[in-house]
């Protein structure tokens, strides 16, 4: 989501008192403390982060039949939400337990706090960040492919596919450049590794702007403009239809492995009536001048070997996803994940329990 668009809707939330009342009465916040039940350590964790589509947009959508199949065949949480708006804070929150106090997609920021990566390193768990169209592991530009004079622009150029704002690992100085060099790969390299029988313990996958349903700017030359929602939904559906079976049919997909497919935030509302859905919040969502700015209802699909469909409503967001992974691997809860009011996704993950 663009910085300008996010400012428009944050302004609307502050200007209209009635919106404040709706959020305060029905924003999805719960103070109930959910007990944390331990699960057996995950064998592999795969996260696929899609973009800018809410649950209501994707359920029973003729453009997303494979996504509908996944929802019907595996675990699904209809009350899952993004942490906030716009995109970047959600990515930061998912690996660090904090939005780092930002409300923009500014790709020039750097943060020094801890992330799940340092936890994985300390516990000798392997990890990999898969950025579909990144040209090299330590690429420092904000966009690619673009001429060098546009690669550092804060606004998306017309034909960019890789967006730094969707690569959370690039924003933390606590993740050394030497680790990025050996742990960040593009999608083709990941697929080759998978075919050769390699899958890291923790894998994060960011599709490019045409395949994550975000889209390129609405300008001449764009292959998948933001305004063409039908095309973006079909491209994202096709991407998942090709990649998910590659992972689940690999010889590494066994035991207590789990895949989480979700979207960073809900799409911009069509009007004020749908604004409460756009700002729907779960525990831990940030507060701005008395208004809770949640990321809206987005799908969460949970895939694991030998599991059947189950729909379980849990008031959750990306903090819950982080907490669930840390719970399984006995890692210290980071940031908001440590809040007792933030539940886990234990009811949706594989049923093997700790002995």
The CA-to-CA distance between both ends of the chain, in Å, stands at 44
Q: What percent of the chain has pLDDT over 70?
A: 86
Residue whose C-alpha is closest to residue 52's, from 168, 162, 212: 212
Given a cut of 80, is residue 272 above it in pLDDT? Answer: no
Whether pTM > 0.85 for this model: the answer is yes
DSSP state of 170: G
Q: What percent of the chain has pLDDT over 90?
A: 77
The mean pLDDT of 328-347, rounded to a whole number, is 96
> Structure tokens of 343?
């539940």
Query: Domain residues of the chain, as ranges?
Result: 3-344
Residue whose C-alpha is closest to residue 310's, from 302, 318, 299: 302
Q: Residue 335: left if φ>0, alpha if ψ -120 to 50, beta else—which one?
A: left
Contact 35, 119 (CB under 8 A): no
- Please give the mean pLDDT across all residues of the chain: 88
d(CA 261, CA 300): 6
What was the pLDDT predicted at 80? 98
* Topology, domain 3-344: Alkaline Phosphatase, subunit A (3.40.720)
Tens digits of residue pLDDT in 285-316: 999 888 899 999 999 999 999 788 999 999 99
Q: How many residues are there in the chain? A: 355
> Structure tokens of 240?
């998942």
Higher-confidence position of 289 and 327: 327
CA 250 to chain centre: 23
Tens digits of residue pLDDT in 53-78: 999 999 999 999 999 999 999 999 99
What was the pLDDT predicted at 39? 78
Beta strands in the chain (DSSP E): 45-50, 75-76, 127-131, 143-144, 162-163, 184-185, 202-206, 258-263, 287-288, 291-292, 300-303, 310-311
Q: How many CA atoms lie within 13 A of 243 on its CB side?
A: 25
Residue whose C-alpha is closest to residue 214's, from 204, 224, 202: 224
| Three-state SS at 38 | coil
Residue whose C-alpha is closest to residue 250's, from 329, 303, 308: 303
Residue whose C-alpha is closest to residue 83's, from 56, 61, 102: 102
Tens digits of residue pLDDT in 121-174: 999 999 999 999 999 999 999 999 976 666 778 788 888 999 999 999 999 999
Beta strands in 51-165 (DSSP E): 75-76, 127-131, 143-144, 162-163
Helix and strand counts by DSSP (H, E) for the chain: 12, 12
CA 68 to chain centre: 18
Contact 167, 133 (CB under 8 A): no
> Structure tokens of 262?
């979700």
Contact 50, 259 (CB under 8 A): no
d(CA 224, CA 57): 18
Task: Give the pLDDT band (50/70/90) at residue 353.
Answer: low
């Amino acid at each position: 989501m663009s910085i300008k668009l996010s400012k428009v809707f944050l302004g609307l939330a502050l200007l209209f008192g009635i919106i404040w009342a709706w959020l305060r009465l029905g924003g999805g916040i719960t103070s109930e403390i959910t007990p944390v039940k331990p699960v057996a350590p995950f064998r592999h964790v795969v996260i696929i982060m899609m973009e800018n589509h809410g649950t209501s947009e994707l359920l029973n959508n003729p453009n997303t039949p494979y996504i509908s199949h996944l929802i019907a065949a595996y675990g699904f949480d209809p009350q899952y939400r993004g942490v906030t708006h716009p995109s970047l804070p959600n990515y930061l929150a998912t690996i660090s337990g904090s939005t780092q106090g930002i409300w923009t997609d500014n790709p020039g920021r750097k943060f020094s706090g801890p992330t799940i990566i340092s936890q994985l390193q300390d516990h000798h768990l392997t990890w990999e960040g898969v950025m579909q169209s990144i040209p090299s592991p330590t690429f420092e530009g904000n966009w690619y492919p673009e001429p060098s004079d546009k690669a550092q622009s804060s606004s998306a150029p017309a034909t960019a596919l890789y967006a730094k704002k969707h690569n959370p690992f690039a924003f933390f100085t606590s993740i050394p450049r030497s680790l990025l060099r050996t742990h960040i790969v593009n999608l083709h390299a990941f697929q080759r590794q998978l075919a050769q029988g390699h899958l890291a313990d923790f894998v994060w996958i960011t599709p490019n702007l045409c395949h994550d349903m975000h889209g390129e700017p609405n300008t001449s030359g764009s292959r998948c403009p933001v305004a063409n929602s039908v095309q973006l939904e079909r491209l994202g559906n096709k991407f998942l239809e090709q990649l998910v079976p590659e992972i689940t049919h690999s010889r590494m997909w066994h035991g207590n492995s789990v895949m989480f497919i979700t979207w960073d935030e809900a799409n911009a509302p069509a009007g004020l009536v749908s604004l409460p859905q756009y700002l729907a919040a779960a525990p831990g969502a940030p507060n701005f001048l008395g208004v809770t700015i949640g990321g809206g209802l987005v799908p969460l699909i949970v895939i694991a070997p030998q599991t059947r469909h189950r729909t379980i409503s849990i008031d959750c967001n990306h903090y819950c996803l982080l907490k669930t992974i840390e719970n399984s691997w006995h890692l210290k809860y980071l940031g908001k994940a440590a809040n007792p009011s933030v539940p886990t996704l234990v009811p949706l993950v594989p049923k093997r329990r700790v002995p």
